[in-house]
Amino acid sequence: MNGAQSGFRSPLDFVLGAYEADETVLARLLPDPDGPAEPGAPPVPPDGVNYIICYVPRSGSTHLSSLLQSTGLAGAPAEYFNLGYADMPQERRHTFARTGVHTIESAAAEYGSRSVEGYLRTVAAKSRSANGVFGLKADITHVSVLTRRRLFWNAQWDWKYVFVTRRDLVAQAVSYATASETGLWTSESGERSDVQLSERTIAEALLKIADITCRWECAFDLYGIEPLRVAYEEIEQSPDAAVERCLAYLGIGAERPARAVSSVYRKQRTARSEEWVRRIRAQARNG
């Protein structure tokens, strides 16, 4: 799959949902998305550790990213390739404040990036921790940008993959529906007020989450990847243990300083959200 052409070209393209609309946005952001890294782009260090947090929405992946960054050993994983950030200035500002790195929306203006590969190298160099670790956070659509340019499965980058999901799918659907309605995807985005949901909205969110999860699983299987699997409930119950698992998987656990991890984000779940979960389950049980 070299370059970005119209339509689906392989089973993997179909799984990732590689739509032309994404490429249209990308073409406005970078002069030559499919080209090689521009002269002067930082090289990929041969002894570096590179990983991608692959996530399903509302699974605690942003919280986990912040926890990992707080260790000082795991880079500064964030959604650098989120094309939706072109219309989300607040999220772009939060990303830069947390990582010191501009997202792809500003890549050409801030870094002179011309291609996806050139921007990826720049992001890695700017956010790699002192011990040589670079982390990236991506959902299924962000990954399609890398996949179409053979950068998601790539010998030079030698990625490790962390897959973050949630066991309580109903609670995840309520959270997804709420965030979609309010536009507040993290606690840093603003304070939530009561939002009016419906059973249909939550059901649609549940199916959306199931679809995204299945697409990830198909993509992993097509590549022959067995990622490290981390659940929202693990992160919530024991953040330190979740971080320890990730660091051990990345091969850097022994470097961990003896201090508690921390996150700039806080839980957004409310009593109203929990009431919706109980209501949806009661309706299902009672027919």
How many Cβ atoms are within 10 Å of 161's Cβ, its own excluded? 21
H helix count then E strand count, the chain: 12, 4
Residue 17 lies in a domain: no
Residue 230 lies in a domain: yes
Query: Residue 244 has which token pair?
Result: 């320890």
Cα–Cα distance measured from residue 29 to residue 275, given in angstroms and rounded to the nearest whole number = 42
Helices (H), ranges, 30-165: 61-70, 89-99, 107-111, 116-127, 140-147
How many Cβ atoms are within 10 Å of 223's Cβ, its own excluded? 13
Residue 10 lies in a domain: no
Residue 219 lies in a domain: yes
Question: pLDDT truncated to tens, each residue of the chain (287 aa)?
Answer: 344 444 446 777 777 765 555 788 899 999 999 999 999 999 999 999 999 999 999 899 999 999 999 999 999 999 999 988 777 777 888 889 989 999 999 999 999 999 999 999 999 999 999 999 999 999 988 888 898 899 999 999 999 999 999 999 999 999 888 887 766 655 454 455 567 788 888 899 999 999 999 999 999 999 999 999 999 999 999 999 999 999 999 999 766 665 667 666 656 557 777 888 888 888 888 87
Helices (H), ranges, 100-224: 107-111, 116-127, 140-147, 169-182, 199-223
Our count of domains for the chain comes to: 1
Residue 199 lies in a domain: yes
Helix (H), strand (E) at residue 136? strand 133-138
Cα–Cα distance measured from residue 277 to residue 39, given in angstroms and rounded to the nearest whole number = 53
pLDDT at residue 184, as a whole number: 60
Cα–Cα distance measured from residue 213 to residue 216, given in angstroms and rounded to the nearest whole number = 5
Q: Which domain holds residue 166?
A: 26-286
Residue 14 lies in a domain: no
Write down the residue that tokens 């994404």 correspond to: 22
Cα R_g (the chain), whole angstroms:
19
How many Cβ atoms are within 10 Å of 280's Cβ, its own excluded? 19
| Domain CATH code at residue 262 | 3.40.50.300
Q: Are 201 and 175 in contact (CB under 8 A)?
A: no
Edge-to-edge order in the sheet of strand 160-165: 133-138, 49-55, 160-165, 228-231
Residue 4 lies in a domain: no
Residue 40 lies in a domain: yes
